[in-house]
Amino acid sequence: MSDIFGRQLRKQTARAKEKLLEGLGKAKATQDDVFDQHAANLGKQSKACDRLQRDLKAYGIALKAMIQAQKTLRETIRDLYEADWPDREHVCALTQSLDLQWDDFEKVVNEQLMGSVNTYMAQFVDLKAKVAKRGRKLVDFDSARNNYNTVKASSKKGDEDPKVVKAAADLQQAETMYKDLNKELVDTLPATYDSRITFFVDTLQTLFNAESANHNECAKYNKTLVTHLDSLGNAFDTLRVPRPEPSEVSSHPVSDLSNGGTNQSHRDSVVSAPVGTPRRPSPPLPPSVPSQAPAAAPTTESIKPDTTEEEKMRNQMYPSLNASQESAAVKGGKETTQTKPKAIEKDDESAERTSQNPFEENADTASTNPFDEVEEEQPTTPTAKTRSTEVKQEASQDTSKTTETRKVMYKVRATHHYTAEDVDELTFDAGEVIAVLESKEEDLLDEGWLLGIKQSDGVEGVFPANFTKQI
């Protein structure tokens, strides 16, 4: 064991010494350019095959994962395809055939192709080992030759000197081993390098043929599946869930707003908004009329039919009493008008100015009074005129008081048409400008509703905020 170790140590020492001398130029090294080219081709071929092996392995792993995902998807399709749907058995059979077809292709890639590539790559290990061994034998040959020349030059006995004879025998042995190994590699390396062409052709043809056959078969199965799914789509009318016939919706009459009552259906339901606008709650009840206002207002919306009938009956039964009340009301109205203090008149004038339309600075004060338009339609009797004057004055005072304490917060522009469904609501078209007034607790405004005055006619009322956009 020690002899073998010592022999190997002497060989390594001699080789290191020879390489050092060759590097310093003190020893002659054997050059073989043809073999060096073959060795370079072997290294290049080995790198190319190693890259192909690595990428083909990654392709096989990804293909296996994709096939597993496809199997899971097709299993889900088989589970979701209901039993009463047409061609269920055929659909299940086709999906199973697809699973088998992809399994065959996966075996071709991961077993057949990878096996051939691994076998081809195995030869490079032996060839690289022989090339390395040939390099060591070349160093031994150069070392033996240089040693023989040195011993022969220093010997005085010539070829008969035992040292020269021993050096010649070592040279002969090293030369024989080197030439035999070199001859083998010179014959093997070019053939191995040329085999790369047939290897790539066979490998890629196997891959592409298997892939083409797999896709062709899968295309046939997929087309058949599409046909069965068309049949399922055509059977939609027979498979759909039966629905009951829609019942006729009974129309509900709209309650009359002129009798002073509120629209209960409007209060209890949500007003339908135009397309693209959210649904909103109903507006609040209008503010109550002050207690000192006359019982009979000139507008038709505030007169109750029952009260009118009672007044007619009372006038027929007690004409003299009615006449005395009317005359007293006329006198009271005149006295109130004549004896009104100047300070109160000034307050009324300032209140009328503040109750004007905020969009028209020089507008007439009487134009904003909602009782003026109805006044022309009332009878021209003195008693009716007197009552209308009293109601007009009190309503003007009440409106001026309400508007006097409010300020315009901002202005909005209507984005949709809205029709009032109650007496306290505004009717406006898209594009109209409305001044939003400051609201108070007694207004009882619901969420989403605002109090404002229209710029076009100065009418005050509530309106839905989602039908407008702030300017």
pLDDT tens for residues 326-337?
Answer: 444 434 444 434
CA distances, 136 to each of 10, 17, 172, 183 (Å): 13, 13, 16, 15
79-125 pLDDT tens trace: 999 999 998 999 999 999 999 999 999 999 999 999 999 999 999 99
* One-character DSSP codes across 296-345: S-SSGGG--HHHHHHHHHHHHH-HHHHHHHHHHHHHHHHHHHHT--HHHH
One-letter identity of residue 116? S
Higher pLDDT, 12 or 304: 12
- Look-up of token digits 């207002």: 297
Question: Which of 12-26, 180-194, 378-392 is modeled with the greatest confidence?
Answer: 180-194
**What number is the average pLDDT over the span 316-322?**
51
Written as six digits, the tokens of 125 are 């290990």
The type of residue at 96 is: Q
Q: Give the residue, 268 or 206, on which the prediction is more confident.
A: 206
Beta bridge partners of 428: 418
The pLDDT value given to residue 27: 63
Note the pLDDT of residue 441: 78
List Cβ neighbours of 110 (8 Å cut-off, separation of 6 or more). 60, 63, 64
- Beta strands 468-470 and 460-464 are unpaired
Across 421-433, average pLDDT:
90
Q: Which pair of tokens denotes residue 470? A: 């702030």
The residue among 360 and 437 whose pLDDT is bigger is: 437
Cα gap 155→273, rounded to integer Å? 123
Q: Residue 407: its pLDDT value, please?
A: 81
Is the CB of residue 389 less than 8 Å from the CB of residue 292?
Answer: no
Whether the Cβ atoms of residue 352 and residue 372 lie closer than 8 Å to each other: no
Three-state DSSP at 357 gives: coil
Domain ranges within the chain, ordered by starting residue: 12-236, 295-405, 407-471
Q: What is the pLDDT of residues 180-215, one digit of tens each?
A: 999 999 999 999 999 999 999 999 999 999 999 999
> Which tokens sit at 199?
């290897």
Res. 50 pLDDT band, cuts 50 70 90: very high
Q: What is the mean pLDDT of the chain?
A: 73
More confident residue, 254 or 159: 159
pLDDT tens for 299-316 read 434 444 444 555 655 555
- What distance in Å separates the CA atoms of residue 196 and residue 44, rounded to the nearest whole number? 11
- Nearest C-alpha neighbor of 452 from the set 418, 396, 401, 408: 408
Q: Is the pLDDT of residue 144 over 80?
A: yes
pLDDT level of residue 357 (50, 70, 90 thresholds): low
Task: Work out the average pLDDT over 341-366.
Answer: 44
- Alpha-carbon span 19 to 142, nearest angstrom: 10
Do 390 and 333 form a contact (C-beta atoms < 8 A)?
Answer: yes
Name the more confident of 54 and 311: 54
Q: What pLDDT shows up at residue 301?
A: 41
Q: Are 274 and 430 in contact (CB under 8 A)?
A: no
Q: What is the pLDDT of residue 442?
A: 78
CB 453 within 8 A of CB 460: yes
Name the nearest CA neighbour of 455 among 366, 356, 351.
356
Domain 407-471 has CATH 3.90.1150.10: no
Please say if the pLDDT value at position 40 is more than 90.
Answer: yes
CATH code, 12-236: 1.20.1270.60
Joined tokens for residue 276: 């693209």
**Lowest mean per-residue pLDDT among 6-10, 153-157, 363-367:** 363-367
Q: Yes or no: say if 421 and 326 are a contact pair by the CB < 8 Å rule.
A: no
pLDDT value of position 59: 96
CB neighbours of 331 closer than 8 A, spacing ≥ 6? none
pLDDT at position 143: 83
Please give the share of the chain, as a percent, with pLDDT higher than 90: 38
Q: Give residue 174's pLDDT.
A: 87
